[in-house]
Chains A and B, each alone.
Chain A
């Protein structure tokens, strides 16, 4: 008897699950994103209570801001996007089309640059590409003249590729792996050669994901700031550098105006991209992925040999851009002031853990907090992201707007969100005479989820839009609820995208800095990247040791996600 109401409740919940998650998403977005951002942007358009466009106009009519700053920012973002695609697409090809030992693990680790604190990347790049760096030492061994790469536009672009090529690779790999082999077989059986089959069948299915990778890379590098300052210097300042600088100077009207201009450009691009994506519908499922080939060909035809040489050459470039900077950091963590081997930096971490004062940063709580926040973000951001993916691939009026609004967390700079949180929710907002404050663990997880869920959405939505709508319809006509159809039919078909999105969610959470440090205000809620920054000083050692701890802990998390998620059955 008692089982029936319970089943009814379950069924009711099942019917309403999507709406409930969507409503929760909207509330979290409003409280932790739109409200804080609005409070900052208000500074740009409000003056003594009245509406004004003066601050924005004065920037747009200033040749210095327009040409030297905004145009330069767009230019470096464009070059960075090209470089990231050039470096990331071959990786996607390798991961999705080839079989080699350690492929799975390597693929899991491609996301690692995302969690590397930018200061660590800067240190690694100086050690690799600097005057006395690895590259110049290697060049001098083979008798080539040294290159001056640091403090140039090129240095910024290479560093941006380090951060964003893995993003491109991961998103495109997920799409490539969900291409149905049968569609290619059909084309081949109809007489298309492999190149033609790729161009007409595979490429159209990959283009949306390439577009996402390129759009995201442009937006991120458009809002780049620590890397620009660390590797380019102030000569090559971007908009974001100026936003930060104005915030420090409490010149909020100017900071907000610059941020508004930055956001409008990013959001416009996003909207243009989403419009393109919506017109890129291709039918097909993902039941049987394309078979993978071995890296080493079975028989050495000239063509196969050329391909293997190409892959090897790519491997060398990858090594230089990705592995050497990270290896330099690992090396620095075991090198003493005199250049010899030492474990004293790790000993410092142990000592700090044992004897540090309560108000000092310790390694173990940092690890623990990072993992707790990441797990929380995973639980919140994945349902949020999947729900938004469903909402944005359905047909209804205003879908485009919802789509752009749900992507907005990408397009607004971290400094603006951080400042908005600080000025509003952290200090408290008077609502009907009560001061409401939002801080603590749950707030941090919610803020991380706001930053992370669009990744889930962008990884999953293209796959959703490619699903055959009739599958869901027939399931529903057979009596399945919307949620049941989602869990049993749709999710297994888009699972590669969900796993890729989940890995991003964890990476965003672990790497996030601005809102973490603001929402953790004065409490013990510091994370691993915060600890890295705190341990920086005259001697690099302790910070690099903490950086290595960050690398090890997060590498393990990513491998676990990919392995666990890779099973694919829900």
Chain B
């Protein structure tokens, strides 16, 4: 607290001196911002002062607000603003939630009220890297009872799920030797010679689907067996690319008949009138890895009440249905009313597998580090 008081006092004079010193160099633009009081900088966020409508700033990942096909972001903004006397501002830092971890490390206010798009792995990363609390526990949601209990992934009650995807195999029936490829049914079958060089996966350290698939193999083969399993997968020609996009692009160019993707793949395919034979879903071992996405309020939010109102809004049945369709994921609540087409093309696994926060904490980076060393550059 003492440091901040000092900053406040010394701020103004230091700013002008430095500005004068820097403008002569012609290169960089220098903006100054005073470190504010304990509640955060008031210059970057709208507040309820003076009768103006408040601004709700929401951090999220790019595709949630900006994809080519459909993303829930713009619709949510319109709906929320039409009903509440507030302005919704999307923030999409390139490094996602790492951006806010980094800010917290540097002693900078988060600059947002809530984050949309958290998963269990991110919460583990946050808690392993920050001493303080980035998010605050969520209370007082009228729709919290509607959330499917199985999808709750934060034992500390900060993150509230709003949708979920199931990571599965997507395969192309037309790519077999005699024009009929069928994906293996189990993890063991995937190792058979007939499936040599048929699977495209993603790097678990840089890709969500890649991480989910790795965790699924750990669940299937055990902590002691998964590295051995991956060694055999590598021998059988599995290809691990950087992220979902390059892998899916290579898949859609017919480079391999299988790719690790989502079980909602057909929803997109149907929309653009593509051949369903090229978008078949396979749940290995009759399981899909569930990766619920959640939202949480920043501990230093400028408008915590408004953030809570937004979270409640996200859980309404009609909003849940709209998010599901636009984000092509399953709703997190039991009350959403989905269109018939969605149910037809979005496949749910017979059994969902997911690692709890407690299981991941303290283990996740060890698992991925060991996997990296097993898999890279041989």
B272 touches A539 (CB 8 A): yes
Say which residue of B25, B29, B33 sits within 8 Å of A435 (CB atoms). Answer: B33
Interface residues on B, range: 35 or more
> A481 to B371, alpha carbons, bound, how many Å?
64
B239 to chain A: closest residue by CB: A233
Question: Given A27-B25, A132-B254, are A357 and B125 also a contact pair (CB < 8 Å)?
Answer: no
B376 touches A249 (CB 8 A): no
Q: 1/0 contact trace for A338-363 toward B, CB 8 Å?
A: 10000000001000000001011100
B15 touches A434 (CB 8 A): yes
Question: CB-CB < 8 A to B253: which residues of A?
Answer: 123, 126-127, 130, 132-133
Q: 1/0 contact trace for A434-450 toward B, CB 8 Å?
A: 11111111110110010
Tell me if A538 counts as interface (CB < 8 A to partner B).
yes
CB neighbors of A among B243-288 (8 A): 245-246, 248-250, 252-255, 268, 272-274
Question: Given A427-B103, A518-B94, are A237 and B376 also a contact pair (CB < 8 Å)?
Answer: yes
For the complex, count residues of A whose C-beta is within 8 A of B.
78
Question: CB-CB < 8 A to B7: which residues of A?
Answer: 430, 433-435
Q: 1/0 contact trace for A123-151 toward B, CB 8 Å?
A: 10011001111000000000000000011
A226 touches B32 (CB 8 A): no
Q: Which of B66, B69, B95, B377 has the most CB of A within 10 A?
A: B377
Say which residue of B27, B106, B203 sits within 8 Å of A229 (CB atoms). Answer: B203
The smallest beta-carbon distance between B4 and chain A, in angstroms, is 10
Question: CB-CB < 8 A to B246: which residues of A?
Answer: 119, 122, 229-230
Question: Given A235-B378, A434-B15, A539-B272, are A446 and B241 also a contact pair (CB < 8 Å)?
Answer: no
Tell me if B65 counts as interface (CB < 8 A to partner A).
yes
> A126 to B252, alpha carbons, bound, how many Å?
11
Q: Which of B28, B31, B268 has the most CB of A within 10 A?
A: B28
> A542 to B68, alpha carbons, bound, how many Å?
7
Question: CB-CB < 8 A to B182: which residues of A?
Answer: none
Tell me if B362 counts as interface (CB < 8 A to partner A).
no
B206 touches A245 (CB 8 A): yes
Question: CB-CB < 8 A to B17: which residues of A?
Answer: 432
Question: CB-CB < 8 A to B11: which residues of A?
Answer: 433-435
Question: Given A226-B242, A250-B101, are A539 and B69 also a contact pair (CB < 8 Å)?
Answer: yes
Tell me if A423 counts as interface (CB < 8 A to partner B).
yes
> A233 to B375, alpha carbons, bound, how many Å?
10
Q: 1/0 contact trace for A151-190 toward B, CB 8 Å?
A: 1000000000000000000000000000000000000000
Tell me if B74 counts as interface (CB < 8 A to partner A).
yes
A438 touches B272 (CB 8 A): no
Question: CB-CB < 8 A to B102: which residues of A?
Answer: 422-423, 427
B67 to chain A: closest residue by CB: A537
Tell me if B372 counts as interface (CB < 8 A to partner A).
yes
Tell me if A536 counts as interface (CB < 8 A to partner B).
yes
B14 touches A433 (CB 8 A): yes
B63 touches A537 (CB 8 A): yes
The smallest beta-carbon distance between B27 and chain A, in angstroms, is 4
Tell me if B82 counts as interface (CB < 8 A to partner A).
no
Tell me if B129 counts as interface (CB < 8 A to partner A).
yes
A443 touches B66 (CB 8 A): no
Question: Given A250-B98, A446-B28, are A423 and B241 also a contact pair (CB < 8 Å)?
Answer: no
CB neighbors of B among A44-103 (8 A): 64, 68-69, 72
Say which residue of B91, B94, B373 sits within 8 Å of A64 (CB atoms). Answer: B373
A427 touches B108 (CB 8 A): yes
Tell me if B141 counts as interface (CB < 8 A to partner A).
no
Say which residue of A32, A68, A361, A423 sits within 8 Å of B28 (CB atoms). Answer: A32
Tell me if B184 counts as interface (CB < 8 A to partner A).
no
Question: Given A237-B376, A337-B273, A536-B245, are A249 and B93 also a contact pair (CB < 8 Å)?
Answer: no
> A359 to B66, alpha carbons, bound, how many Å?
8
B93 touches A521 (CB 8 A): yes
A434 touches B249 (CB 8 A): no
A251 touches B27 (CB 8 A): no
Tell me if B34 counts as interface (CB < 8 A to partner A).
yes
A69 to chain B: closest residue by CB: B377
Say which residue of A122, A236, A338 sits within 8 Å of B273 (CB atoms). Answer: A338
Question: CB-CB < 8 A to B67: which residues of A?
Answer: 537
CB neighbors of A among B8-67 (8 A): 9-11, 14-15, 17-18, 25-35, 62-63, 65-67
The smallest beta-carbon distance between B283 and chain A, in angstroms, is 20
Tell me if A431 counts as interface (CB < 8 A to partner B).
yes
Tell me if A365 counts as interface (CB < 8 A to partner B).
no
Q: 1/0 contact trace for A214-226 toward B, CB 8 Å?
A: 0000000000001
Q: Which of A31, A348, A446, A538 has the most CB of B within 10 A?
A: A538
Tell me if B144 counts as interface (CB < 8 A to partner A).
no
B261 to chain A: closest residue by CB: A538
B130 to chain A: closest residue by CB: A250
Say which residue of A28, A226, A518, A534 sits within 8 Å of B62 (CB atoms). Answer: A534
B66 to chain A: closest residue by CB: A360
> A241 to B240, alpha carbons, bound, how many Å?
13
CB neighbors of B among A411-436 (8 A): 422-423, 427-428, 430-436
B27 touches A235 (CB 8 A): no
The smallest beta-carbon distance between A324 and chain B, in angstroms, is 14
The smallest beta-carbon distance between B227 and chain A, in angstroms, is 13
Q: 1/0 contact trace for B348-367 toward A, CB 8 Å?
A: 00000000000000000100
Tell me if B143 counts as interface (CB < 8 A to partner A).
no
Tell me if B205 counts as interface (CB < 8 A to partner A).
yes
Question: CB-CB < 8 A to B93: which residues of A?
Answer: 521-522
The smallest beta-carbon distance between A292 and chain B, in angstroms, is 41
> A480 to B67, alpha carbons, bound, how many Å?
60
The smallest beta-carbon distance between A376 and chain B, in angstroms, is 10
Tell me if A389 counts as interface (CB < 8 A to partner B).
no
B129 touches A250 (CB 8 A): yes
Say which residue of A27, A32, A245, A423 sits within 8 Å of B203 (CB atoms). Answer: A245
The smallest beta-carbon distance between A352 and chain B, in angstroms, is 8
> A249 to B108, alpha carbons, bound, how many Å?
20
Question: CB-CB < 8 A to B15: which residues of A?
Answer: 434
> A28 to B10, alpha carbons, bound, how many Å?
26
A235 touches B377 (CB 8 A): yes
A24 touches B31 (CB 8 A): no
> A194 to B45, alpha carbons, bound, how many Å?
73
Q: What 20 new A-B contacts, CB under 8 Å, besides A233-B241, A234-B241? A: A24-B25, A24-B26, A31-B25, A64-B373, A119-B246, A126-B249, A130-B250, A130-B254, A132-B253, A229-B241, A242-B376, A245-B372, A359-B73, A359-B90, A428-B33, A428-B108, A433-B6, A442-B29, A446-B28, A521-B94
The list of the 9 closest CB pairs from A to B, nearest first, reads A433-B10, A229-B242, A442-B29, A434-B14, A28-B27, A234-B240, A68-B377, A237-B376, A446-B27
Give 17 pairs: A residue, B residue, CB < 8 Å, sorted on A: A27-B27, A122-B246, A229-B241, A229-B242, A234-B375, A237-B372, A245-B206, A250-B125, A357-B65, A422-B95, A427-B102, A434-B18, A438-B28, A438-B31, A441-B29, A522-B92, A537-B245
